[in-house]
Amino acid sequence: MKKAHAHGFRKEQIELEQCLTCKGKAVVQGVFHELACVDCNCSGWVMAGSRLTISTDELVTQLSLRLQQAQREIEVLQRGPTLSGPAEYYQQNNRRGAGGSNYTGD
Ligand SMILES: [Zn+2]
C-alpha cells in the first residue's frame, strides 16, 4: 500500500466556538454529578456558525490543530517582548495589560 502523502488527507481547520450548552466545559451539571455534554461530543467545542457537533474522529484533529496553535501562542507570550517576534501577539498582550481595566469586550 502506498503511503498517502499530501494527497488524500488534508487537515482542514474548522472554525470552532464554545458549546453554549456546557459553556465550553464539556460537562453539564446533573442532579448528582456532572454529565458529559452531548451537544458537543464532550469536547466543549462546536462548529462555529452552524453550531454542529463535530464527530470524535474529526475532533481529535481539530483539537490537535487548536492545541498546536495555542502552544505557539503560549511560547510567544512566554518569550516576552522580542524585536523579531510576531508583533501582533505582543501588542495584544500589551494593550490588555496597559489598559489596567478588566475589559474583555464581552
Ligand atoms: Zn457542550
Dist. CA 58 → ligand 1 center (Å): 16
Kindly list the domain boundaries of the chain, sorted by start residue: 16-98
Closest CA to 19 of 42, 41, 40: 40
Closest CA to 98 of 90, 82, 83, 106: 90
Going from the C-alpha of 3 to that of each of 6, 63, 64, the distances in angstroms are 10, 24, 22
Per residue in 33-84, pLDDT tens?
Answer: 999 999 999 999 999 999 999 999 999 999 999 999 999 999 999 998 766 5
- Given a cut of 80, is residue 89 above it in pLDDT? no
Question: Quick one: pLDDT band at residue 11, thresholds 50, 70, 90?
Answer: confident
In sequence order, which residues have a C-beta less than 8 Å from that of residue 11 and are 6 or more positions away? 61, 65
Dist. CA 10 → ligand 1 center (Å): 27
Give me the residues paired with residue 46 across strands.
17
- Given a cut of 80, is residue 15 above it in pLDDT? yes
Q: Indicate the pTM of the whole model.
A: 0.60
**Confidence (pLDDT) at 83:** 63
**Backbone phi and psi for residue 45, each to the nearest 5 degrees, phi listed first:** -125, 145
Q: What is the DSSP letter of 39?
A: G
- Tell me the residues surrounding ligand 1 (ion) with CB < 5 Å: 19, 21-22, 37, 39-40
- Given a cut of 90, is residue 32 above it in pLDDT? yes
